[in-house]
Structure 1
Amino acid sequence: MKHGISQRKLGRMPAHRIALLRNLVSALLHHETIKTTLPKAKEAARMAEKIITLGKKGTNPAKSKAMAYLMPPHNSPTPSSSASSSSTFDPETFVAPKSLLPKLFNHLSARYVDRPGGYTRIHKFGRRQGDNAPHAIVTLVDGPRDLKLEMLARTVGKEGLDLIELKGNLDEISNDWEGLRDKTKQQVEKVLKYKNQDEIKEFKSKAKEFADYLQAEESAYGGIRKPNIDSEIPKYRRPGLTTPKSGKILRAGERLSGVSTHTTGLGLARGALVRTPRGKLSIDKTPRFWGQARLPEGVSAEIA
């Protein structure tokens, strides 16, 4: 009979496994993001969900269970240290608190008061060099180190760059997330579901900041250097090698900011230029600055 298979064994004895998970969960609640192997990440995220649920209850039995499970946070001061009397995290001296209970039952419980679950998020992060073990990054959602929120803000800035150039303001085009792909819209609605207006405004400012960065890079390079050839001009009158040119020279396999990996060395090695996605006959994978990208379908190039 299959008894005692409620969790992964992780190749360790019971006492070692429990201590490992306690350490991972405590580190996750303290740093709000950790990197470990994928099996450990799944088990640590599962236990962190239960501990945060205890923090939302706020009862004395919940405090007793959380106190019995959590370990002192990393880099905690020694009892003989003069800074050991500090009970809160000091960003200037980076002295960690002795206990995670104040953060769990005050800060995290207030952050997730409206969220029914799903307090953690796992991102696959390649494989570890040496034993090729799958790596993963575990983060607490809606926190200052929410990786998906940062990357999604950049995606919104990239996809909405042409609309920003037309309308001049990200707030005007982001009320209904106009011009974004359907998949990006779903991700944005999912991430901002439990955000207040100030946090949504901060998300838009991050997207606008990255869009400004892409525009500044394009203007700094002067665009991509390409020959300006008119088909009506005879070949013997076309500009030659001695004609002055301006702009950035695009090297083979070079990746510009925001450009996909299809034209990079990794994309070429994978044969991404040869493969055609299902349901699409042809895709233009020419590398370009985002200011030269095509507008989404259904969006007019005229200023509204």
Structure 2
Amino acid sequence: MKHGISQRKLGRMPAHRIALLRNLVSALLHHETIKTTLPKAKEAARMAEKIITLGKKGTNPAKSKAEAYLMPPHNSPTPSSSSLASSSTSLDPEEFIAPKTLLPKLFNELSSRYNSRSGGYTRIHKFGRRQGDNAPNAIVTLVDGPRDLKFELLARTVGKESLDLLQQKGSLEEISEDWDGLREKTKQKVEKVLKFKTDDEKNQFKQKAREFADYLQAEEAAYGGIKSPNVGVDTPKYRKPGMNTPKSGKLLRAGERLSGVSTHTTGLGLARGALARTPRGKQLIDKTPRFWGQARLPEGVAAQVV
């Protein structure tokens, strides 16, 4: 019979594994976002869900269980006012002092934040691979918090897709509550992220989307276009220009990805070359880095501009 398969072993002995998960969960509740490997992230998110559920209960047994699990130790003495006054060194107001306990945040702030949620307090984002052993990295965040990564990334996606309305209507209108002009997949993500948000947080989301849309429009004008040297046809365009080439514009580098441009122009996409997966319905992908305005032009016009 298969016993003891309730969680991943993580290549550690039981005592080491328990201490590792306690440390990860405590760091996640404190900083609200941590970066670790994918197997550790899945186990830490699972345990963090249980600890937050204890915080929502608010009973004395739940407080005892949370206090016994969370780190750092909660029985460490705090300095009194008399000892601080007698000490010769004064505390720097800018110095970061770690809290002695996470119970007030767990049973007050987090319990009120997730009061209307029945679960799903964490979110895992895959983040490439670790250098050395090529282990998959992941970022674990607490949802609906000030450091929610998906809230920021989705706001940029909405700002980029709202610029498509600019070419159709000629003016960037106020983003409506129905999120007109966005893709259906983006609409579903927006509804999921803003489901438990307040009106102020929804307005903040719209403000972030408009700021990123303005940034995409101003980026090309700020750099003055892309600097392309007047050399032969066989010479790579990303080569550093010489004395006879114009000095205005952004220097084009191999594999560079500009804001709002597809990931096919990254270094990995260029390295794959002909082996890269071609999107459905397209036979050839132009992997030349462009600004947002140049990337939205027709293929023939975009090739002439670059």
What is the 5 A alignment of 1:210-229? 210-224=212-226
Deviations 1:135-155 (A, max 9, x none): 111111111111111111111
Write the distance in 1 (CA, Å) between the matches of 2:98 and 2:82: 9
1:65 aligns with 2:69: no
Q: What is the aligned residue count?
A: 273
Output the CA distance in 1 between the equivalents of 2:216 and 2:77: 47
Aligned residue in 2 for 1:38: 38
Question: Where does 1:247-258 land on structure 2 (aligned, <5 Å)?
Answer: 248=250, 250-258=252-260
CA distance in 2, matches of 1:145, 1:127: 22
Contact 2:261–2:295 (Cα < 8 Å) also in 1: no
Which residue does the alignment assign to 2:21? 21
Task: Spell out the pairing of 1:234-249 with structure 2 (5 A cutoff).
Answer: 248=250
Task: Say which SS state the counterpart of residue 19 (structure 2) adopts.
Answer: helix
- CA–CA separation in structure 1 for the residues paired with 2:29 and 2:251: 47
CA distance 1:109–1:187, shift in 2 (3 Å): same
Taking the aligned partners of 2:71 and 2:180, their CA distance within structure 1 comes to 46
- Measure, in 2, the Cα distance between the counterparts of 1:214 and 1:167: 15
1:127-173 C-alpha deviation (Å, 9 max, x unpaired):
2222222211111111111111111111111111242573334xx23
Distance 1:211 1:17 in 2: 45
Whether contact under 8 Å (2:122, 2:143) holds in the other structure is yes
Is it true that 1:167 corresponds to 2:187 in the alignment?
no
* Distance in 2 separating the partners of 1:132 and 1:198: 41
Q: State the 1:47 CA deviation.
A: 0.3
Instruction: Report the counterpart of residue 194 of structure 1 in structure 2.
Output: 196
CA gap of 1:44–1:243, structure 2 versus 1, over 3 A, is: closer
What are the Cα deviations for residues 8-48 of structure 1, in whole angstroms up to 9, with x where unaligned? 11122222211111111111100111111111111110000
- Cα-to-partner distance string for 1:37-86 (whole Å, 9 max, x where unaligned): 11111111000000001111111111111111111289x9975597999x
Compute the TM-score of the two structures, normalised by the length of structure 2. 0.78
Gaps of 5+ in 1: 227-241, 296-304
Provide the C-alpha distance between the structure 2 equivalents of 1:77 and 1:126, rounded to a whole number of angstroms: 38
CA contact (8 A) 1:162 1:293 kept: no
Distance 1:84 1:70, change over 3 A: farther
Shift in alpha-carbon separation, 1:249–1:3, aligned structure 2, 3 A: closer
Q: How big is the alpha-carbon RMSD for the aligned residues of Structure 1 and Structure 2? A: 3.3
Q: Could you tell me whether the CA contact under 8 Å between 1:262 and 1:268 is conserved in 2?
A: yes
Say if 1:83 and 1:94 are closer, same or farther in 2 by CA, change over 3 A. farther
